[in-house]
């Protein structure tokens, strides 16, 4: 198995959460009232599963190992753009949380700001994922030997042991199965 396989599997889980966020965006736009429990869970998902777990493996392991190989400038440019996009995703989630907090403090107009940030994320992540899946992952694998690929897979496994994969997969499945208005 190539080390990009687990990353691509994680992309499929992220895409499922993005579909749920599309439903939430429609709900906010039609009611001006967000499902705050879902938004808390979505923010936690993005911050933990997407950013710490997924982007952590990409940046700390894959990108770090690739930089040592001195890849072609075009691949380096794509990698640097991906890192910038990771930061852009973090900044958008921060703005979403700020809007949610304003809403909780009585600023009902903040629902529109939440919708803007959610819309950005649901447009951003599919493009970002496509760039990685179809334009970056495979070309970067050409720089590694089979042994190096195996070492990266092991490093991914060790990295994941520190995180709670199952929690976030279950979270997405529960919202898919029961809807966005789950009670704790």
Q: How far apart are CA 1 and CA 8, in angstroms?
A: 12
- Segment 77-134, tens digit of pLDDT: 999 999 999 999 999 999 999 999 999 999 999 999 999 999 999 999 999 999 999 9
Q: Is the pLDDT of residue 30 over 60?
A: yes
* Burial state string for 11-50 with b = 16 or more CB within 10 A and e = fewer than 16: bebbeebbebbebbbebbeeeeebbeebbebbeebbbbbb
More reliable by pLDDT, 16 or 181: 16
**Domains detected in the chain:** 4-178 (1.20.120.520)
Q: Given this model, what pLDDT does residue 184 score?
A: 41
103 class by beta-carbon count within 10 Å (0-12 exposed, 13-18 middle, 19+ buried): buried
Phi/psi of residue 163, nearest 5 degrees: -120, 170
Cβ distance 62 to 7 under 8 Å?
yes
- Segment 149-163, tens digit of pLDDT: 999 999 999 888 877
**Beta carbons within 8 Å of 48's beta carbon, 6+ residues apart:** 163, 164, 168
What percent of the chain is modeled with pLDDT above 70? 96
């Amino acid at each position: 198995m190539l080390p990009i396989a687990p990353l691509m599997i994680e992309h499929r889980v992220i895409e499922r959460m993005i579909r749920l966020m599309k439903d939430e965006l429609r709900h906010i736009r039609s009611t001006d009232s967000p499902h705050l429990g879902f938004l808390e869970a979505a923010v936690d998902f993005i911050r933990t599963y997407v950013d710490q777990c997924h982007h952590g493996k990409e940046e700390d392991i894959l990108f770090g190992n690739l930089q040592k190989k001195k890849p072609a400038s075009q691949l380096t440019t794509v990698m640097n753009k991906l890192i910038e996009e990771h930061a852009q995703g973090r900044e958008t989630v921060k703005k979403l949380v700020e809007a949610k907090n304003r809403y909780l403090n009585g600023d009902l107009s903040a629902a529109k700001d939440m919708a803007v940030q959610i819309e950005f994320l649901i447009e951003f992540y599919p493009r970002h994922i496509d760039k990685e899946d179809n334009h970056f992952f495979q070309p970067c694998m050409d720089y590694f030997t089979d042994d190096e690929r195996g070492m990266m897979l092991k490093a991914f496994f060790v990295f994941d042991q520190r995180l709670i994969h199952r929690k976030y997969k279950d979270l997405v499945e529960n919202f898919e199965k029961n809807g966005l208005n789950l009670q704790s």
